[in-house]
Amino acid sequence: MVPLSWYLTLSAALFNIGLFGVLARRNAVAILLGIELMLNAVNINLVAFWRYGDPTVITGQVFAIIVFAVAAAEVAVGLALIISVYRNRSTVIANDIDMLKW
Amino acid sequence: MATETLIWLIPLPPLLAFFLIILFTNKNKALSHWVGVGAAALSWLGSMIVFIRALKVEHLGQHPFHSAINWLPTADTWLKIGVLIDPVGAATLFFVAWTIFMIFIYSVGYQNYGQPEGDHDIKGLPPHGATVIDPNGHKHKVPSIEPMYSRFFAFLGLFACGMYTLVVSDNLLTMFIGWEIMGLCSYLLIGFWYGKESARNAAIKAFMTTRIGDVFMLLGIAFLYTATGTLSFRTIFSEEVLRALATTPAFFGFSAAGAIGLLLFIGTVGKSAQWPLHVWLPDAMEGPTPVSAMIHAATMVSAGVYAVIRMFPLITADFSGQGLTPTMSIIAFIGAFTALFAATIAVAQNDIKRVLAYSTISQLGYMIAALGIGAYVAGAFHLVTHAFFKALLFLGSGSVIHGMEHGVLHTGDHNTDPQDMFNMGGLRRKMPITFWTFLIGGFALSGFPILTAGFWSKDEILADAFGHGHLVVFIVLALAALLTAFYTMRQISLTFLGEPRTKAAEHAQETTWTMTVPLIILAVFAISYGWVGIPENFPIIGGLIPNWFHEFVGSTLAEIPEGVGFNIVPLVTSLCVALGGLFLGWLVYHNVKTDASDPLKKPLGPIHTLLKKKYYFDEIYDFLFVKPAYWIAETLVSKWMDNGVIDGILHGIAWVGSHLGTLLRNYIDAPVVNGFGDLVGEGTKKIGASMRPIQSGRIQYYMLTSLVVLIVVGGLLYYLLVLA
């Protein structure tokens, strides 16, 4: 069986890739994608710990499912915002959307 | 109506009249005097009914009309006030009611009711006369109506209320209230023509001088209340209370009764203008003449004597009949001294009213002296007869002045003083009614034998003084009587006899009926009132008319005082001084020529000046009391204490406060408190300004910052919590 540390390493890598995408990409949609990656990295973690811990307790799976649901809702709201911004300002570049300042 | 109820009501009408006039009717002169005179008439009527009912009661002294109500709760008892009419009260009520009523009627004429408004009269000054044009086109100057006519009647009403209250009171407290109301009214009425400085000063003088007496009187009342716990006459005059007071020592060898009597007597000294507080009364002549009559005959000065008569049982509580008590000696001395002293001054006065003023002081001295030697009935008798004839004389002199003023207006010679007797003369033909009534009043004052009231009352005092062996008092009073007759005849001669000495006197005119009718009525009393007090043992006519007054008034006391036995010495003395004085007065003054000076001036020399200047009492008091009072007020209190010490302290405190404030402001408030406040504000602002660039609005910077902070804080926590 593949050891737990592999899963954790994959998860960490995926989280960092996502984090990098969030911080470094200019496109708001890509930032959203990065967030999705980070969420799924978390999911891998959850499922891996469930599998390697006590499989009779299904808490890890339930958490993963809740994260899916939250991610779906978040994508829906986030994309809606981006569409709305795009309609008003014709841009999806995160740095250009900087009206919320002093 | 029950007599007691009626007595309660007697003082009310004049009081109501006062309020009615000042509140409602003051614009209407006729209505005002109707209200005033009507109120006086009502009180007069009530008084007469009470008097007549009092006559019908047997042993009124033991069973007087008396009713009292609870007034002030004092711990577990009540301070009661009420009304009391005993024989003395009834006799007083009788003359008070008559004189007040007459004075009210007289005032209508005296203040020129029915005359036109003056040409240029100002409120606060006597009327100056008005010009009228008769059908032939001739201009005449006639007297004009008093501009403050209604006000006069209002004040008279309040005055009458005060006097009635005083007479019907059954206790010292309400009596004192009436006493003080009169004090206020005398001030208002003496200063009635307040536009004249002399009137203002006289008003203040009268008020201040009587106030000195009143303070002592109040002390006496307080002392009495402390000693006995009551102010009601009937309780105080009960035997036990009197004996207790007579045996309690107070101070300086006085018994409590004597000390209280003395304190109350000082009140009388002020009110009845006895030496040494007599100075206000002559100056009080500044008021309109009806006021002079009101104050000097009917009411206020009589009130003083009335108070002594009322308190007589108290004053004589420790009097055994042998030798006068200290208090009585003082009273007798002051009375006798005042009688002679004022009579001498009256000899040298030229103002017709001033002569009467000093004569009043002198006659009051008579009464006081009589009471001082224990001659209760004689003192009361003289009080009543004097009230009648002195009211008559004052009103008569007012009539003379009025007639003279008419002459002054007619001739247009305003340099003639209508009150100076040396400007008069021969008025008997011009003013017959005034002359005859004045003659009756004057003769009554002089004690003209048999006919007049003054003779009987004065004779009784002299007989009492002689009969009880008070020879000094007797001689002094006899001398005063001689002088009285002399200056009275001087006054009558200068005013009415001889030939007119000025144009004004030539054109003097008899006054209207409202003034002459009161004169006639009072003249009747000035003669007839003496007949009710003829001693029964008087030769020939004694006993023809019972000596009602002695029986009646004497019964006020627990035991009716015995009349003195008849003695020829006082009678002869009385006859001699009265007739001798009158004759001398006529001899010296019956033929004074125009512009002549007083015939006594040469023979008496400096003494005449001394008398004319009233023994310089005004000047002495001015030097001793008024000037020091001014000095204390102006220099000591105002300049030194108020401006110097008190203001100095206050200014010092203010200076310290002000400087301390500046100090705090400069060194604490501005740098520390303000600095701190400013620092917080400015610092926040600066921090805000410098932090502002962080909020760029770029979401990824925020996230990066969050990440960095998270890593740093996490690392730190890890280091602190786990590794350390």
Q: Report chain B residues whose CB lies below 8 A from the CB of A19.
A: 707
Q: How many beta carbons lie within 10 A of that of residue B674, not counting itself?
A: 12
State how far the Cα of B177 lies from the Cα of B168, in Å rounded to an integer: 12
Name the pLDDT band for B228 (thresholds 50, 70, 90).
Answer: confident
What per-residue string of b and e applies to B275-291 under the rule 16 or more CB within 10 Å gives b? bebbbbbbbbbbbbbbb
Instruction: State the count of interchain CB pairs (< 8 A) between A and B.
Output: 26
Q: What percent of chain B has pLDDT over 90?
A: 17
Average pLDDT over residues B135-154: 83
- B328's tokens: 């009585």
Residue at B677 is within a domain: no
Q: For B453-522, where are the E strands, in sequence order?
A: none
Smallest Cβ–Cβ distance between A101 and the set B695, B700, B707 belongs to B695
Chain B residues with at least one Cβ partner in A under 8 Å? 692, 695-700, 703-704, 707
Cα B492 from chain centroid (whole Å): 28
Residue ranges per structural domain of chain A: 4-92
Average pLDDT over residues B34-56: 91
Interchain contact, A97 vs B699, CB within 8 Å: yes
Smallest Cβ–Cβ distance between B697 and the set A22, A31, A101 belongs to A101
**Of B463 and B594, the one with more pLDDT:** B463
State how far residue B708 is from chain A, nearest Cα, in angstroms.
Answer: 12
Residue B275 neighbours by CB under 8 Å, 6+ apart: B269, B334, B337, B338, B341, B342, B361, B365
Q: Hey, is the C-beta of A85 within 8 angstroms of any chain B C-beta? A: no
Residue at B514 is within a domain: yes
Average pLDDT over residues A12-28: 92
Judged against a pLDDT cut of 70, whether residue A58 lies above it is answered with: yes
Interchain contact, B697 vs A22, CB within 8 Å: no
Q: What percent of chain B has pLDDT over 70?
A: 99
Q: Hey, is the C-beta of A98 within 8 angstroms of any chain B C-beta? A: yes
Smallest Cβ–Cβ distance between A98 and the set B692, B696, B707 belongs to B696
State how far the Cα of B611 lies from the Cα of B637, in Å rounded to an integer: 37
B255: part of which helix (H) or strand (E)? none
Smallest Cβ–Cβ distance between A95 and the set B698, B703, B707 belongs to B698
Q: Report chain B residues whose CB lies below 8 A from the CB of A31.
A: 700
Question: For residue B448, what pLDDT is reported?
Answer: 83
Q: Report chain B residues whose CB lies below 8 A from the CB of A22.
A: 700, 703
**Of B298 and B285, the one with more pLDDT:** B285
Smallest Cβ–Cβ distance between A101 and the set B696, B703, B704 belongs to B696
**B401, amino acid identity:** I
Residue at B138 is within a domain: no
Residue at B136 is within a domain: no
Average pLDDT over residues B271-286: 85
Q: Report chain A residues whose CB lies below 8 A from the CB of B707.
A: 19, 23
Q: Hey, is the C-beta of A22 within 8 angstroms of any chain B C-beta? A: yes
Question: For residue B135, what pLDDT is reported?
Answer: 80
Residue at B319 is within a domain: yes
The residue of chain A with its CA nearest to that of B691 is A102
Interchain contact, A98 vs B707, CB within 8 Å: no
Which of B687, B694, B698 to mutate to test binding with chain A, by most A CBs within 10 Å of its CB?
Answer: B698
Strand partners, B358: none
Interface confidence, given as ipTM, is 0.85
Judged against a pLDDT cut of 70, whether residue B297 lies above it is answered with: no
Question: For residue A94, what pLDDT is reported?
Answer: 86
Interchain contact, A99 vs B697, CB within 8 Å: yes
Interchain contact, B696 vs A99, CB within 8 Å: no
Residue B60 neighbours by CB under 8 Å, 6+ apart: B54, B86, B87, B90, B552, B555
**B505, amino acid identity:** A
State how far residue B710 is from chain A, nearest Cα, in angstroms.
Answer: 14
The Cα-based distances of B92 to B87, B302, B309, B375 in angstroms read 9, 9, 11, 17
Interchain contact, B698 vs A94, CB within 8 Å: yes
Question: For residue B619, what pLDDT is reported?
Answer: 85
Average pLDDT over residues B75-98: 87
Which residue reads 């001295």 in tokens? Answer: B365
Interchain contact, A22 vs B703, CB within 8 Å: yes
**Of B310 and B317, the one with more pLDDT:** B310
State how far residue B675 is from chain A, nearest Cα, in angstroms.
Answer: 29
> In total, how many domains does chain B have?
1
Judged against a pLDDT cut of 80, whether residue B388 lies above it is answered with: yes
Judged against a pLDDT cut of 80, whether residue B250 lies above it is answered with: no
State how far the Cα of B410 lies from the Cα of B508, in Å rounded to an integer: 9
pLDDT in tens, B315-342: 888 777 677 788 888 899 999 999 998 9
Smallest Cβ–Cβ distance between B698 and the set A24, A98, A102 belongs to A98
State how far residue A77 is from chain B, nearest Cα, in angstroms.
Answer: 17
Domain that holds residue B550: 3-111+146-234+267-531+540-612
The residue of chain A with its CA nearest to that of B706 is A23
Q: Hey, is the C-beta of A19 within 8 angstroms of any chain B C-beta? A: yes
Interchain contact, B700 vs A31, CB within 8 Å: yes
The Cα-based distances of B613 to B95, B279, B341, B346, B616 in angstroms read 34, 12, 13, 11, 5
Average pLDDT over residues B177-193: 90
The Cα-based distances of B244 to A59, B62, B373 in angstroms read 114, 21, 23
State how far the Cα of A33 lies from the Cα of B724, in Å rounded to an integer: 40
State how far residue A81 is from chain B, nearest Cα, in angstroms.
Answer: 14
Which of A26, A95, A96, A99 to mutate to test binding with chain B, by most B CBs within 10 Å of its CB?
Answer: A95
State how far the Cα of B239 lies from the Cα of B559, in Å rounded to an integer: 12
Q: Report chain B residues whose CB lies below 8 A from the CB of A102.
A: 692, 695
Nearest to B382 by CA among B455, B469, B467: B455
Q: Hey, is the C-beta of A23 within 8 angstroms of any chain B C-beta? A: yes
Q: Hey, is the C-beta of A95 within 8 angstroms of any chain B C-beta? A: yes
pLDDT in tens, B517-555: 888 998 998 888 888 878 777 777 766 777 777 778 877
Name the pLDDT band for A9 (thresholds 50, 70, 90).
Answer: very high
What per-residue string of b and e applies to B18-27 under the rule 16 or more CB within 10 Å gives b? bebbbeebbe
State how far the Cα of B567 lies from the Cα of B466, in Å rounded to an integer: 9
Smallest Cβ–Cβ distance between B699 and the set A19, A94, A102 belongs to A94
Question: For residue B144, what pLDDT is reported?
Answer: 82
Q: How many beta carbons lie within 10 A of that of residue B667, not counting itself?
A: 10
SS (HEC) of chain A: CCCHHHHHHHHHHHHHHHHHHHHHCCEHHHHHHHHHHHHHHHHHHHHHHHHHCCCCCCHHHHHHHHHHHHHHHHHHHHHHHHHHHHHHHCCCEHHHCCCCCC
State how far residue A31 is from chain B, nearest Cα, in angstroms.
Answer: 9
Judged against a pLDDT cut of 70, whether residue B298 lies above it is answered with: no
Question: For residue B128, what pLDDT is reported?
Answer: 78
- Most distant CA pair in chain B: distance in Å? 148
Residue at B213 is within a domain: yes
Nearest to B129 by CA among B404, B409, B400, B419: B409
State how far the Cα of B574 lies from the Cα of B568, in Å rounded to an integer: 10
Residue B307 neighbours by CB under 8 Å, 6+ apart: B175, B179, B217, B264, B267, B268, B271
Cis omega (within 30 of 0) on the bond before B599?
Answer: no
Strand partners, B139: B133
Residue at B508 is within a domain: yes
State how far the Cα of B141 lies from the Cα of B132, in Å rounded to an integer: 6
The residue of chain A with its CA nearest to that of B701 is A23
State how far residue B683 is from chain A, nearest Cα, in angstroms.
Answer: 19
Q: How would DSSP label each residue in B652-692?
A: HHHHHHHHHHHHHIIIIIIIIIIHHHHHHHHHHHHHHHHHG
Judged against a pLDDT cut of 80, whether residue B450 lies above it is answered with: no
Question: For residue B713, what pLDDT is reported?
Answer: 96
The residue of chain B with its CA nearest to that of A20 is B704
Judged against a pLDDT cut of 70, whether residue B658 lies above it is answered with: yes
For the full predicted model, state whether its pTM sits above 0.80.
no
Question: For residue B651, what pLDDT is reported?
Answer: 92
Q: Hey, is the C-beta of A29 within 8 angstroms of any chain B C-beta? A: no
Judged against a pLDDT cut of 70, whether residue A102 lies above it is answered with: no
State how far residue B682 is from chain A, nearest Cα, in angstroms.
Answer: 19
Residue B642 neighbours by CB under 8 Å, 6+ apart: none
Interchain contact, A94 vs B697, CB within 8 Å: no
- Most distant CA pair in chain A: distance in Å? 55
Cα B90 from chain centroid (whole Å): 22
State how far residue A1 is from chain B, nearest Cα, in angstroms.
Answer: 33
Handedness of CA A71, A74, A80, A82 (dihedral sign): negative
How does the average pLDDT of chain B come out, rounded?
86
Q: Hey, is the C-beta of A102 within 8 angstroms of any chain B C-beta? A: yes
Q: Which fold has domain A4-92?
A: Helix Hairpins (1.10.287)
Residue at B116 is within a domain: no
The residue of chain B with its CA nearest to that of A96 is B698
Average pLDDT over residues B197-209: 90
